[in-house]
Amino acid sequence: MSSIFHPYLGAPQVGRVMGLASADRYAQRATSSVLPRFESLARPCKVLVVEDFEQFRRVICSALEQWAEFQVTEVSDGLQAVQKAKELKPNLILLDIGLPNLNGIEVARRVREFAPDARIIFLSQESSPDVIREALRRDTSGYVHKSCLRRDLRPAIEAVLEGKRFVSRGLGVH
């Protein structure tokens, strides 16, 4: 364990710093099988996927593209996310927190200014209750821990598109 700085909280938190090789193994475990088909949407849904780790982004986009109900656009940093969200006016944004150029919590705050009806689900490896609470204070709809992606992505999307909130089990946030 080492102390790492969270720029979106402005205070150091204790956490594990992953090397690239362990991050690749983490992504493979979290996304190792194809996600089930999403059947409950009646209309096309514009989805913006914002993830800087290419392997996760590809898996998420690939799964969503299998579901004909989704029109998927992807970006890899926070500033691009704000710009694309202005252009596309997505129904759903799947948003990482730890992004280059602008963190996901700030992206959510900015997107709310021009797209108050967009549903936002954070997809993050961050499990600090303080960070999760801060993320959910941004009028967002959900929080999925990346280690739970395979289990939780579909239920999270279904819940938030029905106007409910979703948080991965075991994160200690109420």
pLDDT tens track for 82-98: 999 999 999 999 999 99
pLDDT computed for residue 4 by the predictor: 33
CA distance 40 to 66: 14
For the record, the structure tokens of 108 come out as: 């959510």
pLDDT tens track for 4-49: 333 333 333 333 333 444 444 444 444 443 333 444 444 689 999 9
Domain 19-167 adopts which CATH fold?
Rossmann fold (3.40.50)
pLDDT computed for residue 139 by the predictor: 82
Category of 164 on φ-ψ map: left (φ > 0), alpha (ψ -120 to 50) or beta: beta
Give the number of other Cβ atoms within 10 Å of residue 50's Cβ: 31
CA distance 155 to 171: 16
Which whole number is the average pLDDT over 68-86? 94
CA distance 142 to 157: 9
Give the position of tokens 């596309």.
88
Tell whether the model's pLDDT for residue 71 goes beyond 60: yes
The beta strand positions in 24-129, using DSSP E, are: 45-50, 70-75, 92-95, 119-124
pLDDT tens track for 131-148: 898 888 878 899 999 999
Tell whether the model's pLDDT for residue 172 goes beyond 50: yes
**How far are the Cα atoms of 109, 119, 140 from residue 20, in angstroms, in the given order?**
29, 31, 29
Tell whether the model's pLDDT for residue 66 goes beyond 50: yes
Which whole number is the average pLDDT over 139-162? 92
Average pLDDT over the chain reads: 79
